[in-house]
A and B are shown apart, each in its own frame.
Chain A
Amino acid sequence: MSQRYRLAGAGRVDRSSPLSFEFNGKQYQGYRGDTLSSALLANGVHLIGRSFKYHRPRGIMASGWEDPNAQVQLESGGHTLPNTQATVTELYPHLRATSQNCWPSVEHDVGAVNSALSRFFVAGFYYKTFKWPRKAWEPLYERVIRRAAGMGKAPAEEDPDRYEHQYAHCEVLVVGGGVAGLAAARAAADSGVRVMLLDEQNEYGGALLGSSGESIDGMDALDWVASTVAALRENPKVTLLTRTQASGYYDYNYLVATERVTDHVGPQPTADQPRQRLWKIRAQQVVLACGAIERPQVFADNDRPGILLASAIRHYQHRYGVLPGKALVVLTNNDSAYHTAIDAAAAGVHATVVDVRPAEDIGAADRARKAGVVVLENSAITGVDYRVKRGIRSVAVHRLSPDGESLVGGAMHIDCDLIGTSGGWSPTVHLHTQARGKLHWLDEHLCYVPAQLGGNSNPRRSAGGCNGALGLAEALAQGHAAGSDAARDCGATTASVSAPAAQSNDFTLGKIRPLWVLPCEHPVGMGKKKHFHEYQNDATVADVQLAHREGFSSIEHLKRYTNTGRGTDQGKLTNVNGIALMAQARRQNVPDVGFTTFRPPYTPLAFGAVIGQNTHDTFIPARPTAMHPWHVEHGAVFEDVGDWKRPWYFPHSGESMHDAVQRECKAVRASVGVLDASTLGKIDISGPDAVRLLEMVYTNAWQKLAIGQCRYGVMCNEHGMVFDDGVTTRLGEQHFHMTTTSGGAARVLEWLEEWLQTEWPDWQVFCTSVTEQWAVVSLNGPRARDVLAKLTDIDLDEESFGFMRMREGQVAGVEARIFRISFTGDLAYEINVPARYGRYVWEQVMEAGAEFDITPYGTEAMHVLRAERGFIITGQDTDGTVTPMDLDMDWIVSKKKPDCLGKRSWTRSDTAREGRKQLVGLLTQDPEEVLPEGAHIVSKVLPKPPMEMLGHVTSSYYSPNAVHNGSTGRSIAMALLKDGFARLGDTVDLALIDGRHVRAKVVKPNFLEEAGDA
């Protein structure tokens, strides 16, 4: 029969809107307004999956995020979402879900053999068993364990859904839309501040949605909810977000929340809405109204499907019209669970309460008995008769001894198919503790509540259930006060609206009895029955005792040893039970054993939501140059340099990368090549103290540089180590144009600013980044002058425009600065034009160069060409431990200057010592052998590492131009080598990672016979 556990006329589901859905291949019916769990329970399906370690059958325990086991794999393909909580998955048409962690099916699970072997699968089993041999870990143990102890499966395909991020600001942020949250939002909104109200559910009301018979301000409580929400909705300063879970609370009241925008309508790849939206909210004041979560009792076989939190049964009854049993037994240590029995009895279900407390402590017994509920005092459930196929059939009940630690008399059996359990309530303090809040143990309520706040950077209040206020009136009053106090602390004038008044006949805890584990016929952990204190990770009371015996009695050790409170559970349901059991084992009071740290996220977050829109083309900003479209049209292969897109090489059709690079390198030396050098960092430096600045940041002298002259410079940090280099040109008496490496532009500008702002604030210098303002066409090769001459009337002959000079004039009709500087060692001109003309001038250069067979080349050829002349690339041939002297560049260090950054460090004992690594060239014995960059030079080759390392290869290429035995073409390399300069002419050994060993001759790094311009 379809939906045989659906109650007639009850609940908030839409009976006119039936939906069909599929679970484990079987079709079922539910209604719009159901969750997957309420629809499954309506159909009598309790069994959802298998447990993590023992593969025990597990079912739905709760009605919200706190459920430890009702997790399914939702949908398939790219849309699939593993570890989806059935309890919060809203039903949509044709939803498909499957069980996790079972094979071949949830009813017949092979892994259940673990349960029979549970003697061996105790806490710490994996740590103890799979320690050795080390080699077996990755190929064997990890693979087997991951499959056996897995949860859902990660999608193998790309996620077709969209996600987005949104930032928001408000004065008062209220987390939780139950009565306390609504009262807080109303009070804050009435005083005129901007309010955001978040609730994880699809509708407001919180715990009220799962109760009945309450009224507020003289109306039915849910009508009060509706009218309050309507009033908030009309207020333009209030933002209401449902289906939105605040999962992280960070410093300075910065909270992260996930809005499930279209999850409730199912996969909709064409929809213009994102699937989820991640909110990043900064609030002046926060009101936490997250409610409380009921705690299960720990008793024999308390993990059977069909055992639910007492409050969850009531929630399913009133919210969804589902009462998933015909005979109910409620096990409790407090009064609140009596509501479940009374309401079930009213719906015609036979209900029994097994209460561990003596009769005199029970406040709710009379009303329950009047409602037809059987109440057994001083008793406990000591066994559950359960079969996978048929579910729960009965429970065994014993009377307890006065101390509650043993049993009196024989067992009584009660037929039932549904069990509710309540061990008290745990305020949801997760966000409070994430915000560095402390906790306070309330012994009379057996729960932790937020402690008084001191001054801190996260101004917030807790109200309602999460503050320990379990009764309706108290929650309303706290919420109202918190909302108006928060608004007042934002500087608002608080409105004089009075707090809503509740008319409630609800039981709260009454006199709760701390019995953390209920006995059965055999000692806990010694017989067949298991007492789970933690369901998601299969941790039992016996595991806690074992952890204590083995010395893992710190609460943080317990957490790691037994996995208590880890995974998606994060201590929602059972943390307090675990702590209390350890306190018992240590013979201490609960607050004395401490509390584990709750970390964000409170509920699992989809990776898609974390990534948001930052994927594919919007993953990272791309910086194209002005010539970029030309490069694309001409088939360039691009390389990312910082954020820049740079042509790496320009392959002709059918050419490999190697072929293209060799051709480009040859063409530059033979005729002329052209490089897009626009990415070069450029800084405009001006002011009366500009020279003074250059004198301090560069190692060489700048006073006498004439206007129109260029000079190469190296920058060192205060440790004396090279960190950038480039050419700087004097444009005017107090005006310079500095260039830096492409990747170092921002770093160098920041370096200049750091000194100017923090150390020399009285110096008058402006530094302006002009990298983006200039496009740079770099012409290189013996025919460079011939090409440029066709485009400009500037006199290019050696006398009037020599090396390291700059001239201003027109190139192809565009105002340009031409720098005669060279990174290839050949004749070269760097033509700088305003970026908007970059592509035009590039095309003119290509046209003018056509008769010389001009060749565009990319960064790879640029690297080879500079290495042929031994020019360094900072960051490749240097690594932050290299001085100018180590680079054989003493010539760049002024001996006359009294000071510059880093200078003092060159005479420190370590910088001045013998035996430093120095930059040299390497020629492999086999000219065709191209060394891998990073290859180690060793003092002596041994069969296997370790070997004494003398240095490493920093740059290595095959150069078509390098001279070898009278012809050209061979492998070239640069290396940092211990005492490198003293080893010139020596042969060194290199041990390669593939096990081979190669010999190379140490040379000066200049691999061309004929010297060019430099």
Chain B
Amino acid sequence: MLMIDCPWCGRRDQSEFSCKGEAHIARPVDPFALSDKEWGDYIYTRSNPKGEHAERWLHSQGCRRWFNALRNTVSDEFIVTYKPGEARPDTSAAASAEVSP
């Protein structure tokens, strides 16, 4: 059972949240400017990374607000959570800082 840091409420139990799939997939501004293939990619194609994954989460049994999270799909660890509209945090710098003595 995971602990998830809701950027609006703080750390809460996983049972209060729902996972809502991959984050940072913006709705095209003009859907009719897209080919069938491009529109199909928007509604169907998702990445499935081993490791760090940006996801949307909803604090469904809490504040009912949406947010984004970077989660490691192997270890299930939440690396960071952040509000909608914020850029995906760059974790490469933090990671390399950790290993340097």
Contact = CB atoms under 8 A, between A and B. Distances in A.
Contacts of B78: 457
A903 B1 contact: no
Contact of B43 (A282, A456, A719, A909): A719
B85 interface: yes
Given A908-B36, A909-B36, A457 B75 contact: yes
A252 interface: yes
A718 B56 CA distance: 17
A791 B40 CA distance: 55
Nearest to A454: B75
A456 B32 contact: no
15 contacts: A282-B1, A456-B75, A457-B76, A457-B77, A719-B43, A750-B58, A753-B64, A757-B66, A757-B84, A758-B56, A903-B31, A904-B31, A905-B39, A907-B36, A909-B36
A251 B56 contact: no
Interface in A748-778: 750, 753-754, 757-759, 761
A413 interface: no
Interface in A423-448: 436
B26 A908 contact: no
A16 to B, nearest CB: 46
Interface residues of B, number: 29
Nearest to A753: B64
Interface in A875-908: 898-899, 903-905, 907-908
Contacts of A254: 1
A758 B34 contact: no
A250 interface: yes
A898 B66 CA distance: 28
B13 A282 contact: yes
Interface residues of A, number: 26
Contacts of B30: 899
Contact of A757 (B1, B65, B76, B98): B65
Contacts of A757: 65-66, 84
Contacts of B76: 251, 457
Nearest to B23: A758
Contacts of A250: 1
A909 B3 CA distance: 43
B20 A754 contact: yes
A754 B66 contact: yes
Nearest to A254: B1
A750 B60 contact: yes
B77 A904 contact: no
B1 A758 contact: no
Contact of B32 (A252, A457, A753, A904): A904
A785 B52 CA distance: 63
Contact of A908 (B39, B56, B75): B39
Contacts of B50: none
A456 B64 CA distance: 29
Interface string B42-76: 11000000000000101010001110000000011
A912 to B, nearest CB: 10
Interface string B65-101: 1100000000111100000110000000000001000
A908 B1 contact: no
A721 B39 CA distance: 15
A436 B26 contact: no
Nearest to B30: A899
**Residue among A252, A759, A907 with most chain B CB within 10 A:** A252
Contacts of A753: 64, 66
A757 B40 CA distance: 23
B7 to A, nearest CB: 12
Interface of B: 1-3, 13, 20, 26-27, 30-32, 34, 36, 39-40, 42-43, 56, 58, 60, 64-66, 75-78, 84-85, 98
B2 to A, nearest CB: 5
Contacts of A759: 26-27
Contacts of A457: 2-3, 75-78
Contact of A252 (B1, B40, B66): B1
Given A282-B1, A757-B65, A761-B85, 16 more contacts: A252-B1, A252-B3, A254-B1, A282-B13, A456-B77, A457-B3, A457-B77, A718-B42, A754-B20, A758-B66, A759-B27, A899-B30, A899-B31, A904-B31, A904-B32, A908-B36
A757 B68 CA distance: 12
A428 to B, nearest CB: 23
A908 B40 contact: yes
Nearest to A696: B27
B49 to A, nearest CB: 19
A491 to B, nearest CB: 15
Contacts of A908: 36, 39-40
Given A750-B60, A757-B66, A904 B34 contact: yes
Interface in A902-949: 903-905, 907-909
Contacts of A903: 31
Contacts of B56: 758
Contacts of B66: 753-754, 757-758
Given A457-B75, A758-B84, A899-B31, A252 B36 contact: no
A908 B77 CA distance: 39
Contacts of B98: 455
Contacts of B32: 898-899, 904
Contacts of B64: 753
A499 to B, nearest CB: 31
A567 B40 CA distance: 48
A743 B60 CA distance: 17
Nearest to B78: A457
Given A254-B1, A904-B34, A436 B43 contact: no
Interface in A308-329: none
A250 B20 CA distance: 22
B19 to A, nearest CB: 13
Nearest to B11: A252
A907 B64 CA distance: 34
A129 to B, nearest CB: 40
Contacts of A761: 84-85
Interface centre among B3, B13, B27 (most CB of A within 10 A): B27
Contacts of B20: 754
Interface string A444-466: 00000000000111000000000
Contacts of A252: 1-3
B65 to A, nearest CB: 6
Contacts of A251: 1-2, 76
A723 to B, nearest CB: 14
Residue among B42, B66, B84 facing the most chain A CB atoms (10 A cut-off):
B66
B27 A436 contact: no
A250 B36 CA distance: 44
B80 to A, nearest CB: 13
A761 B36 CA distance: 27
Interface centre among A719, A750, A757, A898 (most CB of B within 10 A): A757
Contact of A718 (B2, B34, B43): B43
Which of B1, B2, B60, B77 has the most A CB atoms < 10 Å from its CB?
B1
B28 to A, nearest CB: 8
Given A251-B2, A457-B76, A905 B43 contact: yes
Nearest to A719: B43
B85 A436 contact: no
A904 B58 CA distance: 26
Contacts of B31: 899, 903-904
Interface in A258-304: 282
Contacts of A907: 36
A759 B25 CA distance: 10
B6 to A, nearest CB: 13
Contacts of B39: 904-905, 908
Nearest to B60: A750
B75 A436 contact: yes
A865 B58 CA distance: 38
Interface in A228-278: 250-252, 254
B21 to A, nearest CB: 11
A642 B98 CA distance: 49
